[in-house]
Amino acid sequence: MSLAAGSVYLDWNATAPLAAAARAALHACLDDERLGNPSSLHAAGRRARTLLEEARRTLAECLESSPEEIVFTSGGTEANALFLRGAAARLEPGLIAVSAVEHSSVYETARLLAAHGWRLVEIPVDAEGRIDPFAFERILRERPAIVSVMLAHNETGVIQDVASLARAAREAGALVHCDAVQAVGKMPLSRRALGVHALTLSGHKFGAPTGIGALVLAREVALAPLLTGGGQEAGRRSGTENVPGAMAMAAALVEALEARESLHARLHALQQRLEAGLAAQGAVIFGASAARLPNTTFFALPGLEGAALAGVLDRTGFAVGTGSACSSGEPGAPRSLLAMGVPEALARGAVRVSTGRSTTEADIDGFLAALAQAAGQLRRLAALCAD
């Protein structure tokens, strides 16, 4: 990722800059003129197949899974849709339950199923964005066929107790899916340990290039494929596999896991520094009392629009988000905050800061200073417009 000199990137949850290991793996594949189509039987095809299966084994080891459970996709959105739509196609239409704070790729897919005979129920959350256990228990009494709960929220960073939720959902007879896109590389992750039938990951969230992701799928679960034709990925996802992307994703995950513990501590310290500075400026931090990712802070300065604040910060050299990058172009307040009971006026002011391996204390201090200036500028402008 190339930023202007002096710019500070604080939008790692939208996409992480390419990791060194991923860059090396990507270049090695792209520079290899002997690399063919992994479905071809000649030497160049066999070489590509060998690399693809090497990437699959590496991902499986990192995720405490087996290679047969790794289904390569184009990213998290496709992986989410592959499970939800693929599983639904094998079942009689019934109840699908998704948390009220799910990523739009899960939420909108569930809405699509609801338009084709399924009944959609949103699982309520509390004021911190955590699943309401009593509401969840009531929903399980209705015997949902599919349940989907995100592990770590892309906007607030709030972590759900997916293992406990999945245990209860499985006992109720549901297939359980977990969007783990933001958790990969930031916390221990295993489909089996979580007790879910499927786990979604997206490479560019942890240092791989865009355009590569995976669904970790329990072998006992049969899906109807979204893409048909070539029968790749054991018939679960047709289309020529992205060998360079798969190799880069595997390398990025290895690098992320090797650095996770030390990076976690450093990012947590930066988070505390940031949030102390935000509190001093009167900010409201969403999900502050819940267990959260150490790199994610979602906040608002009362009376200010988040999009306007992010725009001023961008012009001063600080790249931040206003929520999910997949829905940041949509007008209105973030759906997740409204589900948490945040007043719409305050929710419209939401700004997300997400940090990563290259973020420093100086970046945080510079951001806090720029934020104070931007907020002052916007308040003065509002005062002038009011006169």
From 29, 62, 326, 385, the catalytic residue: 326
Whole-number Å distance between alpha carbons of 165 and 220? 20
Number of Cβ within a 10 Å radius of residue 43: 10
Whole-number Å distance between alpha carbons of 263 and 271? 12
Residue found under tokens 């592959």: 82
Backbone angles phi, psi at 160, to 5 degrees: -90, 150
Determine whether 326 is an active site residue. Answer: yes
Whole-number Å distance between alpha carbons of 251 and 245? 10
From the number of C-beta atoms within 10 Å of its C-beta (0-12, 13-18, 19+), residue 104 rates as middle
Whole-number Å distance between alpha carbons of 136 and 125? 9
β-pairing verdict for 175-179 and 213-217: unpaired
Closest CA to 293 of 323, 319, 268, 321: 268
- Reduced to 3 states (helix: H, G, I; strand: E, B; else coil), residue 146 is strand
User: Catalytic positions, please?
Assistant: 326
